Structure formats: C-alpha cells, structure tokens
Amino acid sequence: MSRYIHSGDYLNSEEPEKPLSDAASEGSGGTAGDEGAGQAAADSGAVAGAEGLGDVASSAAPGSGEGISPVESGGAPDASDDQAAADSGAVAGAEGLGDVASSAAPGSGEGISAVESGGSPDAGPSAGAGDMEASRELGAPDERSDGEVSGFIRSILPGEEGDESPASEQDRGGSGSSPDEDRAAKQTGGAAEQEDADKGKKGRRNQAAASGQPEDPKQEKRDRELSNSVKESILYWHGDDRIPETIDQTKEVLTEVMGLGTTFDVVFREMHLGGRKTGLLLISGFAKDVILDEILKRLTYLTPCDMSSDAMASFMNEYIPHIQVVKDDRMSEAINQAMAGMSVLFIEGEPSVIIMDTRLYPVRGPEEPSIERVVRGARDGFTETLLSNIALVRRRLRDPGLKFELHKVGRRTQTDVSIAYIDDIVDKTQVKAVIDKIKSIDIDGIPLADKQLEEAIIGKSMNPYPMVRYSERPDIVASHLLEGRVVVFVDTSPSVMVIPTTFFDLCQHAEENRQTPLMGSYLRWVRFAGIFASIFLLPLWMLMVIHPELKPPLLDFIGPQKNAKIPLLAQFLIIEFGVDLLRMAAVHTPSPLGSAMGLIAAILIGDIAVKTGLFVNEVVLYMAVAAIGMFATPSYELGLANRLVRLFLLLATGFFHVIGLVVASTLFIVLLTVNRSYNSSYLWPFIPFNAKAMGAILFRVPVLSSKTRPSFNKTRDNTRMSLDTGKKDKS
C-alpha cells in the first residue's frame, strides 16, 4: 500500500525487497559505499525536513524480527546500527516541528518506515529499543496499523485535494461519531441532501484554503441542522434538555442555539458569586438595567461562607431582592424565557436555573383608536404590549373571577396569547373549545399576530364575513366580558378578538352608548341605513334603470337623464375599483398629502369623467352614498365583506336582472344564516328570532332596563341585576 508524501511522490512499502545498495541509492539520491554512514543519514534527514514532513521518530519493538526498510529511510547501506540511530535522533531533534513516535508491538514481524523516522536503513532492533521510550513519552500507541500511519501522514501533509483533519472525518460520521451527530444524520435524510452538504463542505474547504484560515470543524454540523424549535436545537447540540453541568458547556450550547458571540444583543455575563461560578443570560434590548443592577449589587456581597449546601435555594430565597423569580430545570424553557425578555441565572453544578422577570418592552402610550373614535368617552386604547392591554381591562373590571390564561403559539415566534373570561359567567364549554383549538396549532409562528391566529382557530377561508369582532377599546372589551364572551389577547397586536360575535354586534358602535337612549337609537338607525345602502342601493337603482316599469310613480325622477359612452354595468365596475384604489392610496399617503389627494380624486377624476361623457352623474352620486355607508360601518372587516357582496349583487343584476337580484339576495341571507361563530348563530336575534333581544338591537335600551345578558352564548349567570332592583328604580 503506497504512502503519499507529496502529490505524485510516493514510496511503495509492499514491493519486493531490493539489495541494500540499490535501496540506499534510491532512498538517498546519492551513491552508497564510499560516503560515510553518518553523512548519508544526515542528508536523508535534511531531505525529509525540507519536504515538510516534520520529525517523526520511529522504532521497532525488540524481537520484531525485522529492521527498518532502507527504501523508506533514505540512509546509507553501510551505516552501523548505533551511528544511524544516533544520527536519526539528532536530525529529529534539530527540526523541532513536533515529534511523533510510532512503534510496532513485539513479535509483530513488521519493521518501521524510515521515512517517518529519518534514520538509517540498518537501524534494527537495537536502535528501536532506544526509541521505544521516546515514543511512549510522546503518548504514541504501542501498535498502529499500516493504514492508520498512512492516514496520519496524509493528514499532516498537504495534498492535491486538501486532505481533511481527523476531527472533520469524525464529524462526517463513522464509528467515532457522537449520538448528536447520528441524530443529525437522521435529521438530514436523503442522498440528495447529503450530496449537497458534501459539495458545500468541499467549497468551504477550498475557500478556507484560499484565505489561509482553518475550517471550523462544527460548520458541517451547523449546515445539517434542521431544527424547528428551541428544544429540537438543544437536543441536536446538547443531547438532552437538562441544564449543563458547567458554565463552559452552557456557553457552547448558547453559542450554537442562540448565536452567543454572533448576535450582538445576546449577553452572557460570567461572574463569581459566593464562591460559585455563575452566568447571567439576557437580551440587552429587553433588560431593565435598574433592577438588574440592584440584584447584582446584592449578590456581589456574598461569600462562600454565606452559601448553604443548596445554592439554588439560597439565591432564590435570601439573596435576590425581586418579586417574580422562579426556577426551572429545562434548558429550552430557560432560552425561551430569555428570548421573551427574562434574565436567566446559571450556577455551575446546579441542575436548575433562576429565571427573573426583569423585562422592559419598548411600548407606546395608550392612544384613542382611529377606527372606534367617540365624541365623548375614554381616549385610551390598546397598544402592542400584552401586559399593558390586560392592565387596561383590569382597571375597568376588578372582578376576582376575571381570568387571564397564558399560552404560547408558534414554534419559532413563541407568541404570547392570553384567553380572558369571567369564570362564573362564561360558558366553560366554549372556553375549553377555544383553548383546545389554540393548543392544537402547530405552526412556526404568527408574526402577524391576531389575524393569523384567527385564521388558525376559525378556519372558513372562503367566508368573507368576520367570525370574530376586533376591538381596540378597553371599555368595549370589558362590556363584552360582562356579557359572557371570550376575549383573546395576542402580544404585539393593538386589537383583541371577541368570541363569539354576531352580524348585529358588528353594526354597533360605542358612541351609541355614550348618548341618551333616544339619541343612541337615532344614531343606530342612521348607521343601519348606511350599511343597508352600502349593500343594496346600487343594485336596486341599476335594476330600475334596466326596467323602468318597476319604478313607482313617486320615483320617476330617478334615473339617468342621458346615456354615457360606457355601459352602465361597466361604469359601476370601474368606479368600484376606483374607490378601492383611492382607499388604498389614502392608507399609504402621508397625512399632509391626504387632503390634496382627495381633491384630485373628487374634482379632476370625477368631474372630468362626467363632463367627457364617460360616466353619468347618478352613478357617481350613488356610488358615493354607498362608499359613505361602507365607511360608516363600525367594523372595518364587515365593511369590506359588504362591499364584496355589493359587487356580487351588481353582477347578478346586470346579467340576470330581476331574477339575478332576487336569487343573489337570497343566497346572501342564506350565507349569513348558516354561519356560526363558535356554535352561536350569526344572525341572532333575527334567526332564530327573539323579539325582546331584537328590540334591544333596534333601540338602544336604558341601562337599568337591561336585566339579563344575551342568551345566544349560553352564559352560566344570565342576570345582570335582581328583579327587585328594577322595580325600585321604576318607582
């Protein structure tokens, strides 16, 4: 088997033995015979050093029965054993590049390559006995096969392909691979992916060789990682989810899982507290430095005498002056809490960590919601911080039965989701259904917060109507909680979801309850009229234009006085898309330019389109009325759904006239009827009909007249007040 020294230069150790004189002439490149044995050995060692082999000392065990091959040694054939051994050791010591000793076991019957020793060819058993001690002192194995020696030589010499280090070969797999690496190999799976990984590794080796930097032995393992969660990543790098025993092991796990040392905002502060080595993990952007300074100031005064046998209990119960402190024995939970803004204290030798709530999220102050504005009423609204939103509701509901259950959604985002309800009012079956649905979500994350969560727990992707009510006002949410609804808070969202809801709930506004019952009823009727006009006004007018005989005598003045160059249905479609385009442009237009854009749309586009004969005046007029009704809808999602229904009714009326409008309207009512918001009728109290509840929808009922809660969501406690209270108030 050949052993490579350089590209194209190799010595074959398995060829038939040659005479000593011939072998010496081939190994040393000079003549054998007249030149001295010592000079030949020195020349041979110099050549080996020039080739970059380093100094490799080799010896044969006593009784091996075979000397060192002169072909490999390159020494003189006539050199004596003692002189050759001495010269070989001198040359090896002079080089100083690292001595590696290799020996054969006694009785192995195999000599030792002089290429590895740089000695003379005749260094037999007597010379090998002297070098055996040196090889043992260097930690060399007593027995090494021919292939192992060849692999070692190949690893320290540069070749054509850029040979890999033994560590790289071990990372690639094989009998020496660790359990984590075997798990990684199963995780990658597939010959194609492995081939891509090999290609990537070869490219990195070439790039590292070109730049002169050593290749990171863990890089291939990083490339193979396909973890979808923090726990999977910890199992991949650490093997289990337990807290590492030492701080150094903890840093290694954090380096691979959290990017410690690469991600600038991940901080791991190492300290000695009470004679114990500790490490504090935190995210710099979330840490409340004032609290951390007080905690660390207290802990720095500790001495080893102050620590009991249970360091964890001492830290938690005596020396950390903070309120929200817990401990956990899972590494995944520690990292998840650190990513959420907590501070995690690792103590070397302890199987648990201390988690301290020292977070301070970047927040904005509560402001009045832009969609649910009121003339009179509270001006505070929800923000993007979950704790602030819960506090706004707690301020209005000081009921001890108000519960906030916290859950996490998303393997990667770990978004906080809170389920709020009043325990002795809400239907527990409904609460359990919502919680079970949230727990069953298996997704990488919900960065878009409540809207993505709604799609995950509600479904019905083809239904245009919202099955939950969104609100940004804490007072509205508090009133819904008192009615027995379930409210879902999602962190990073300034709105919350109210479950279940109805079509008529979405048509009501807080302003109606801020006025007297009479004025509130009037505002409610005006809003209902605007919503009705946004759906049915345009289809009805177009039907009367197509069939003038359907118009009553009192409505003879309705209709275009002249025809336009574009068909009527096309005018409606163009102006529908134009209004939507205008609405989207208004959202993305800076506020100082918004009024100017409105003037351009109203005057330049609308007026010129009418004067040029492309549109008729009535189309622009009725479309403006329908758009105002859409914007007057309290729920933005409901307004968009009504606009889509209006477009459907226009197409049905334009193509099928009376039959089209009747059939499309019937399908619209059926769609609303079959919808159910968490097993609650969407058209309640119209379908199923409840006269008393329908009256409360049409007219704003005084507070003291509303003695019971809505019955559609099956509350446990249906009474708002006792009957005696209502009688006393009437008297």
Q: How does pLDDT run across 16-64, given as a tens digit for each residue? A: 444 434 433 343 333 333 444 334 333 433 333 334 333 433 333 334 4
Closest CA to 196 of 168, 223, 169, 227: 223
CA dist 33 and 21 (Å) reads 8
pLDDT at 600 over 60: yes
Closest CA to 271 of 349, 348, 357, 356: 348
Percentage of the chain beyond pLDDT 90 is 37
What letters, b where the CB count within 10 A reaches 16 and e where it falls short, cover 543-559?
A: bbbeeeeebeeeeeeee
* DSSP collapsed to 3 states, 259-273: CECCECCEEEEEEEE
Percentage of the chain beyond pLDDT 70 is 67
pLDDT at residue number 171: 42
- Categorise residue 180: left if φ over 0, alpha if ψ from -120 to 50, beta otherwise: alpha
Q: Which residues on neighbouring strands pair with residue 417, listed in sequence order?
A: 407, 490
Average pLDDT of the chain to the nearest whole number: 74
**What is the mean pLDDT of the segment spanning 297-303?**
83
Strands 55-60, 99-104: parallel, antiparallel or unpaired by DSSP? Answer: parallel
Q: Which of 281-285, 311-315, 417-421 has the lowest mean pLDDT?
A: 311-315
pLDDT at residue number 276: 86
pLDDT at residue number 575: 87
Tokens 């990292």 sit at which residue? 335
**What is the mean pLDDT of the segment spanning 465-479?**
94
3-state class (DSSP) for residue 4: strand
pLDDT at residue number 317: 74
Strands 276-283, 343-347: parallel, antiparallel or unpaired by DSSP? Answer: antiparallel
Q: Regarding predicted confidence, which is higher, 703 or 419? A: 419
pLDDT at 352 over 80: yes
pLDDT tens, 138-181? 334 444 444 444 444 444 444 444 344 434 344 433 344 444 44
pLDDT tens, 242-274? 999 999 999 999 999 999 999 999 999 999 988
First to last CA, the chain: 113
Confidence of residue 498 (pLDDT cuts 50, 70, 90): very high
pLDDT tens, 505-554? 999 999 998 899 999 999 999 999 999 999 999 999 999 888 888 888 88
pLDDT at 708 over 80: yes
pLDDT at 576 over 50: yes
pLDDT at residue number 453: 93
pLDDT at residue number 591: 72
Q: Regarding predicted confidence, which is higher, 29 or 374? A: 374
The alpha helices in 547-605, defined as continuous H runs, are: 568-588, 591-599
This model's pTM is above 0.85: no
Confidence of residue 730 (pLDDT cuts 50, 70, 90): very low
Closest CA to 547 of 664, 649, 656: 656
Look at the chain and count its residues: 731
Is omega for the bond preceding 688 within 30 degrees of 0, making it cis?
yes
Please name the residues in contact with 332: beta carbons below 8 A apart, sequence gap of 6 or more: 229, 230, 231, 234, 241
**What is the mean pLDDT of the segment spanning 461-489?**
93
Q: Which of 185-194, 688-697, 713-722 has the lowest mean pLDDT?
A: 185-194
The pairs formed by 451-460 with CB atoms below 8 angstroms and a separation of 24 or more are 453/409, 453/417, 453/488, 453/490, 453/497, 454/497, 456/409, 460/675
CA dist 38 and 45 (Å) reads 11
Cβ proximity of 442 and 474 under 8 Å: no
CA dist 107 and 130 (Å) reads 17
pLDDT at residue number 580: 85
pLDDT at residue number 603: 67
Cβ proximity of 471 and 496 under 8 Å: yes
pLDDT at 300 over 60: yes
Cα 242 from chain centroid (whole Å):
22
Mean pLDDT comparison of 55-59, 112-116, 489-493, highest-scoring range:
489-493
Residue 418 corresponds to which amino acid? S
pLDDT at residue number 567: 87
Confidence of residue 504 (pLDDT cuts 50, 70, 90): very high
pLDDT at residue number 241: 93
CA-CA distances (angstroms) from residue 224 to 165, 196, 198, 221? 19, 10, 11, 5
Q: Regarding predicted confidence, which is higher, 104 or 397? A: 397
**What is the mean pLDDT of the segment spanning 223-231?**
87
pLDDT at residue number 223: 87
pLDDT at 226 over 60: yes
Please name the residues in contact with 416: beta carbons below 8 A apart, sequence gap of 6 or more: 340, 386, 406, 407, 408, 490, 491
**What is the mean pLDDT of the segment spanning 621-634?**
90
